[in-house]
Copies of this chain bind each other. A is one copy, B any other.
């Protein structure tokens, strides 16, 4: 039987509003009264009911985090960081999973809308059409995706891809294959553009394969195709695909990196354990989670004063990525370099 504000008020012989103030505006209440109230609250195990509070204040103290797939190793560090950042600021977090289906995203936002002050969107698919409708109902921050009017946190994968390309170039590679991610992935589109552009300007030939589902199975299945392209190096849309590729190449008898160099993107924990250890572009997922929450809460608090002013609406925060060179990349084999 949880106790309410009234139980505390009765126990201290004060009015409920005094108890309320003790928790929401302590400076407005006499120090000794406050002490008595706090003591009684403690003794009775009283905790303000956030739902009731939200009814009148309009603020819930909750946020939502929507991801494409909780079990995809890319997301947990992001979720964890977001949760910890949110909790440090007194917020609780709902986590929801679209299961890679971008249509449920909008539903999820709608469902959560009344229970949260804002939502962090980490389902990096395009399809912004419907998002316009919910904007305004609830604060939004997008991760790895740009939506008009929605602040976003972007991990600079294109730059990482460029770093990877330059690493490969310096190793003598002249023909690289690009394993493209899922159709509609905002990040994949940007990576592809960056790679093809950079390659053109540095005289590298790029063979594009995809779009593909971003799983290790895809990598395993496309291994043979990649080998046939004649490329001496592969850049995969993500580590999962790169790891699958490693498996597939192994069973084909192709040695990595002697015969073929492989680079992934993400630096999921797994990539350190694969053999050879995967060279990959590290994505700052934890930092992105924290930044997204910061942005969301900042926007929340500025919302009242914002009106037409220059708030955080258009903000696009770009986080740097770094190439982590491990053992899956090496000099281009002599016979294929040219």
Contacts and interface: CB of A to CB of B under 8 A. Distances in A.
Nearest to A112: B92
A41 interface: no
Given A47-B114, A93-B94, A94-B93, A71 B77 contact: yes
Interface string A35-62: 0000000000101011110110000101
Nearest to A52: B55
A14 interface: no
Given A55-B51, A76-B76, A2 B113 contact: yes
A83 B96 contact: yes
A96 B275 CA distance: 34
Copies of this chain present: 2
Contacts of A96: 83, 87, 92-93
A97 B80 contact: yes
Nearest to A69: B80
A162 to B, nearest CB: 27
A325 interface: no
A11 interface: no
B80 A71 contact: yes
B269 A115 contact: no
B49 A114 contact: yes
A114 B50 contact: yes
A274 interface: yes
Interface string A101-113: 0000000001111
A126 interface: no
A99 interface: yes
Contacts of A49: 55, 114
Contacts of A73: 73, 76, 269
16 contacts: A1-B136, A2-B137, A47-B110, A49-B114, A50-B115, A51-B54, A70-B83, A71-B76, A76-B76, A83-B97, A93-B96, A94-B94, A216-B273, A246-B273, A247-B273, A273-B273
